[in-house]
Amino acid sequence: MMCFRKIRFVANLGKTILLLLGLLMPLLQVQAQDMSTRDLGNGLTLVSGSGGNILVFQAGNGEVLVVDGGLEQYAQQTLDTINGVTGNGDISLLINTHWHPEQTGLNTLLGNRGVRIFAHENTRQWLGTSITHPWDNSTFAPLPLSAQPSETFYHYGDLEIGDSQIRYGYLRQAHTDGDMYVYFPEANVLHGGGVLANDGWPLMDWWTGGWIGGLANGLEVLLEIADEDTIIVPANGPLMSKADLQAMRDMYATIFQRISGGFRAANSVEDTLGQDPTAEFNAQFGDPEDFVRRSHESLIPHYTPDA
């Protein structure tokens, strides 16, 4: 009788565990994202919904290039979405337009499979070290060596994928100090990376080399590449035209002049906030407080004399 009770107890315990697991699995698993794809023509597809805009290019020989990777918690779903677009084409190269997690979520998954990862040298260095942002103490652990960029550049150049040529270039100290663009001349599609975000104010990541003046300068570089027919892909938000890019450049140039002018007049961060340097743009981009604070702080290494 005791043995039967033990068996029944174990069986009931097993049922209870299975029931609890059934209730907890939705909490333990990453909720599936609502990802979308958009055909841009000439072998290019925009994948959205994983934390940042991803460009997928499939060359005539089936070779696949991916620009940015979304967040790591959605990596497998992102890869499944990409494979659905390419018919499980061979991903030969992953590009990180900068080091932020929204761009590097495929690094571990693809790096472990031996896929080449390409980025600016500064991006590689940031991904190889621990980073703690001082304004909120958010910490980012270094990626494993296999997930770090295996190929890097310093200025600009060309890549050959199949029989297609892709251009890339450095945007210097902008939203970070490792920002890059990727341009597909045959399709006239330009991925501007983290310098572009039109769904809200960007993170002005001065801790890893970004600053508000460099952001405005980076937009100038993109304007030189784009023409009236260029499809412009931001890191976040809807696709842009050159007119949208020009308006964004003018906005950040205006904000830069206002914040830097106050900074040179010895304004504190609170003084700068009080002057509301983004006033006419807040309806479109939302609460600017964090952006203005980081932008003001980003001027310190550029405008403060060495001790």
Convert the pLDDT of each residue in 7-51 to its tens digit.
454 455 555 444 444 444 443 445 677 999 999 999 999 999 999
**Rounded to a whole number, what is the distance in angstroms from the first to the last CA of the chain?**
84
Q: For residue 212, give the H/E element and its range.
A: helix 212-225
Higher pLDDT, 297 or 14: 297
pLDDT digits (tens, 9 = 90+) for 142-160: 999 999 999 999 999 999 9
- Structure confidence at residue 225 (pLDDT): 97
- Structure confidence at residue 304 (pLDDT): 78
CATH of the domain at 106: 3.60.15.10
Residue 187's pLDDT band (cuts 50, 70, 90):
very high
Contact 219, 195 (CB under 8 A): yes
Between 4-13, 49-58, 87-96, 281-290, the lowest mean confidence (pLDDT) is in: 4-13
Asked whether residue 53 is assigned to any structural domain, the reply reads: yes
- Structure confidence at residue 89 (pLDDT): 87
36-41 and 44-48: which strand pairing?
antiparallel
Asked whether residue 108 is assigned to any structural domain, the reply reads: yes
- Structure confidence at residue 136 (pLDDT): 96
Please count the structural domains in the chain.
1
Asked whether residue 254 is assigned to any structural domain, the reply reads: no
Cα→Cα distances 270→24, 293, 294, Å = 45, 8, 12
Asked whether residue 23 is assigned to any structural domain, the reply reads: no
Contact 153, 168 (CB under 8 A): yes
Q: Which tokens hold the place of 260?
A: 């830097």
Q: Which tokens hold the place of 248?
A: 């964004």
Whole domain around residue 114: which residue ranges?
32-243
Query: Other CB atoms closer than 10 Å to residue 288's CB: what's the count?
Result: 19
- Structure confidence at residue 15 (pLDDT): 52
What's the rounded Cα separation, in Å, for the pair 133 and 140? 9
φ, ψ at 222 (rounded to 5°): -65, -35
Asked whether residue 275 is assigned to any structural domain, the reply reads: no
What's the rounded Cα separation, in Å, for the pair 124 and 241? 30
Asked whether residue 162 is assigned to any structural domain, the reply reads: yes
Asked whether residue 57 is assigned to any structural domain, the reply reads: yes
Mean pLDDT of 226-234: 98
Which residue's entry shows tokens 């061979």?
Answer: 90
Asked whether residue 157 is assigned to any structural domain, the reply reads: yes
pTM: 0.88
- Structure confidence at residue 13 (pLDDT): 52
Work out the burial of residue 256: count CB atoms within 10 Å of its CB; fewer than 13 is exposed, 13-18 middle, 19 or more buried: buried
pLDDT at 214 over 90: yes
pLDDT digits (tens, 9 = 90+) for 59-105: 999 999 999 999 999 999 999 999 999 999 899 999 999 999 999 99
For the sheet with 231-236, list strands across it: 156-161, 164-170, 180-184, 189-197, 231-236
Work out the burial of residue 170: count CB atoms within 10 Å of its CB; fewer than 13 is exposed, 13-18 middle, 19 or more buried: buried
pLDDT at 291 over 50: yes
pLDDT digits (tens, 9 = 90+) for 109-123: 999 999 999 999 999
Q: What percent of the chain has pLDDT over 90?
A: 86
Measuring CA to CA, which residue among 205, 202, 290, 188 is closest to residue 252?
A: 202
Mean pLDDT of 274-284: 97
pLDDT at 181 over 60: yes
Contact 104, 89 (CB under 8 A): no
